Amino acid sequence: MRHGPGSHWGSYIFLVASGGVVLLPILWMVMGSVESTTAMFTGHIIPPRLDFANYPHAWASAPFARYFLNSFGTTIAIVFFQVATSALAAYGVVFTTIRGRNVAFGLILLSMMIPIQAIFIPDYILLSDLHWINTYQALVIPFVGTGFGVFFLRQAYLKIPREMVEAMKMDGGSHWAIFQRLVLPNTVPSMITLALLNGAFHYGYLFWPLLVTESNAYRVVPVGLAYFLAQDRGIHWNQLMAANIMTVIPPIVAFILGQRYIVKGVLSYGSKG
Amino acid sequence: MADRNEIIMIGPKNKTALRESFGSWLFLSPALIAVLLFLILPAGYVAYISLFQSTIVNPTNRYIGLANYGSLLRSASFGNAMIHTIVFAIGVTIVVVSMGLALAVQLDKNLRGTRAFRVIFFLPYVFPLVSSGLAFMWLLQPQYGLLDSLLTRLGLPAVNWLGNVHTALLMVIAVTIWEYLGFYMLIFLGGLQAVDVNIKEAAAVDGATNRTIFWRVVIPSISPSLFFALVISVVQAFQAFDQIYIMTQGGPVTATTTLTYYIYTQGFQFFNMGKASAVAVLLLILLTGLTFLQFLLGKKWVVIDN
């Protein structure tokens, strides 16, 4: 049942005011990105004239093409590995009967409580012993397994009717066949949700790439932006905002395309507690 | 011969079982090995390093027992980082939980335009924290940023929001709230949508006011998602790094140095891996403690009727 605005002015005033506050930094960023450098430092609020040259200037002032390529490549690789390892492990937890699978699941759940911010020193030492610092492996390999992914897909697998699995087993279907032909095709939305949520996170992640990259060849966009800012301390805010907008466009597009998957995924945290 | 028969009969069965169990471990092992190698074993190793005095080249140079912990507890900079983290966690959590719930309640009314509002509020969540930080830096830019432009128009003095020890932490808190508010709003919306309409209607029939229904029916029903949000928000606050690095680098002075940022500076600016590891261990204990608390209390706190 939908209601018109008539009886709900209070709700609308609250929503519009809050929405305005949320949109304000975005609007200010867009306005900054089309201001000329001289106009920027005159203290006005609406730009007197639109100047789109900041975009090509920003793009040329740092190797952004390389940063974006690195960001897309590593994000896609991380997400691919995470969905694959999580789907396999969730299957192992839900549908196999081996001894020790609960211990394995317990360990995987335990790992959800350990943030990389607390254990990055040993991880860094391990990668540096492998001579992996400043490589793509260093950006991808530490993240191929995710406790959250296993947990999340397990929820979806628990909803698959047991009888269907048993029927396939009766017909002589192997675990691999059941996984491939029954479980995977029936849980595509959950895999997309997981890929989008974790993909958005890893695309934007600064902390780890900052530690393990030392040259532009391997830097990703967030690190590139941080360097751009450091080199140009508060002069070309217009170019910084242009670069910033180019940075946020890919996740916004992904969000708009995959909105129903993301929203459904996060809503489900709430309904399950 | 009887023995032999038995063996022959059991043999193939064992072999199938073995093959089945080997196959099953193939499913579990990629994720398990990855989390063991990069999360669980390092958690043990970080505790080990924390017992050593480090040099730049050798993190485990000399065994010193718990001396790193002792020096932390005596150090003012660690105490400061702890206080900043707690202020940060409380500030962010109070706002995202209360505002997130308030917005979710409005969106749960199914008014026209609900979907558009949902998209607007959730949009910041897909921004990289670095981008959100940069957008706020420009908004807060001394003199020419939006906030100071408005202030000077009103004849008030401009403020260097990120360069002032009294306002910098507040601004980092603000950007974090902006980033995560929509996420919590959606969690609560999920909780609200799962509330049984019949109970609400029954209460209304019994003459309960909207306010009573909200506090006596709705809040207890969504207590699991409230508690989940509370814990996640505090855990997230303890891990905050990206927005602090881009906006203030822990400064001015150490005004925005939180625990995670403190570990980073100790480890990667002062190369004191031992001391950094000791902070990391304390962080781990705090976070696992919180998660266990959620697990234990979560069961009791969840009120739902009889």
Q: How close is the nearest chain B Cα to the Cα of A224, in Å?
A: 10
**Average pLDDT over every residue of A92-104:** 90
pTM of the shown model: 0.91
Work out the pLDDT band at A6, boundaries 50, 70, 90: low
pLDDT at B144 over 80: yes
The complex scores an ipTM of 0.92
pLDDT at A157 over 50: yes
Same domain as B112, residue B11: no
Average pLDDT over residues B105-113: 91
Structure confidence at residue B305 (pLDDT): 37
Q: Does B67 reside within a domain? A: no
Distance CA A46, CA A116 (A): 42
- Kindly determine whether residue A28 and residue B135, on different chains, have CB atoms separated by under 8 Å: yes
Same domain, B97 and B41: no
Does residue B57 lie in a domain region?
Answer: no
Q: Which of A 237-256 lie inside 8 A of B, CB atoms?
A: 237, 240-241, 244, 247-248, 251-252, 254-255
In this structure, the answer to whether residues B84 and B180 fall within a common structural domain is yes
* Least Cα separation, residue A89 to chain B (angstroms): 4
Among the listed residues A139, A141, A152, A140, the one whose alpha carbon sits nearest the alpha carbon of residue A196 = A152
Residue B42, token pair as written in the block: 């390092």
Select from B111, B136, B183 the Cβ nearest to the Cβ of A11: B111
Q: Look up residue A123 and give its two tokens.
A: 């991880």
CATH number of residue B225's parent domain: 1.10.3720.10
Q: Within a domain: residue B63?
A: no
Residue B62 placed within a domain: no
pLDDT > 80? residue B297:
no
**pLDDT, average across residues A209-228:** 96
Instruction: Determine the residue of chain B that is closest to A199 in CA distance.
Output: B126
Same domain, B26 and B113: no
Q: Is the pLDDT assigned to residue A8 strictly greater than 50?
A: yes
Task: Provide the percentage of residues in chain B whose pLDDT is more than 70.
Answer: 92
Mutate to test the interface with B, among A12, A109, A165, A269 (most CBs of B within 10 A): A269
Residue B160 lies in a domain: yes
Please report whether residue B7 resides in a domain. Answer: yes
Confidence of residue B7 (pLDDT cuts 50, 70, 90): very low
Residue B306 lies in a domain: no
Mean pLDDT of all residues in A141-168: 93
Q: Residues A256-268, buried b or exposed e (16+ Cβ, 10 A)? A: eebeebbbebbbb
Residue B254 forms contact with A (CB below 8 Å): no
Rounded to an integer, what distance in angstroms lies between the CA atom of residue A135 and that of residue A125?
14
pLDDT digits (tens, 9 = 90+) for B208-267: 888 888 998 899 889 888 888 998 899 899 999 999 999 999 989 999 999 999 999 999
Determine, for residues A266 and B131 on separate chains, whether the beta-carbon distance falls below 8 Å: no
Residues of A in contact with B152 (CB under 8 A): 43
Q: Which residues pair with A21 in a beta bridge?
A: none
Q: How confident is the model at residue B4 (pLDDT cuts 50, 70, 90)?
A: very low
User: d(Cα A87, Cα A80) in Å, to the nearest integer?
Assistant: 11
| Residues B33, B152 within the same domain | no
Would residue B56 count as lying in a domain?
Answer: no
Full residue range of the structural domain in which residue B266 is found: 74-301
Range B132-144 average pLDDT:
93
Taking residues A72-85, report their average pLDDT: 98
* Summary mean pLDDT of chain B: 88
Question: Tens digits of per-residue pLDDT, B13-55?
Answer: 567 777 777 888 999 999 999 999 999 999 999 999 999 998 8
| Claim to verify: residue B45 and residue B90 sit in the same structural domain | no
Distance CA A152, CA A86 (A): 9
Residues B144 and B240 in one domain: yes
Query: To the nearest whole angstrom, how far is the Cα of A268 from the nearest Cα of chain B?
Result: 6
Share of chain A above pLDDT 90, in %: 74
Q: How many CB atoms lie within 10 A of CB B209?
A: 11
Q: What is the pLDDT of residue A273?
A: 40
- Interchain proximity B121–A40, CB inside 8 Å: no
Q: How many alpha carbons fall within 13 Å on the CB side of residue B236?
A: 21
B160 touches chain A (CB under 8 A): no
Model confidence pLDDT, tens digit, residues B112-133? 889 999 999 999 999 999 999 9
B155-168: per-residue pLDDT in tens? 898 899 999 999 99
Q: Does A47 touch chain B (CB under 8 A)?
A: no
CA distance B193 to B113: 17
Tokens of A77: 């690789």
- What is the number of structural domains in chain B? 2
A79–chain B Cβ distance below 8 A for any pair: no
Are residues B10 and B98 part of one domain?
no
Q: Mean of the pLDDT values across residues A111-135?
A: 92
Residues B6 and B127 in one domain: no
Query: Chain A contacts of B155, Cβ < 8 Å?
Result: none
pLDDT of residue B168: 97
Same domain for B78 and B11, yes or no, is no
Identify which of B21, B264, B283 has the shortest CB distance to residue A98: B21
pLDDT grade, residue B300 (50/70/90)? low
Question: What is the pLDDT of chain A when averaged over all its residues?
Answer: 91
> Are residues B127 and B37 part of one domain?
no
Are B106 and B237 in the same domain?
Answer: yes
B231 HSE (CA, 13 A, CB side): 21
Burial degree of B61 (CB within 10 A; 0-12, 13-18, 19+) = middle
Average pLDDT over residues B173-177: 98
In our burial notation (b when 16+ CB lie closer than 10 A, e otherwise), range B247-273 reads bbebbbebbbbbbbbbbbbbbbeeebb
Residue B58: which residues within 8 A CB-CB, separation 6 or more?
none
Answer yes or no: is pLDDT of A212 > 90: yes
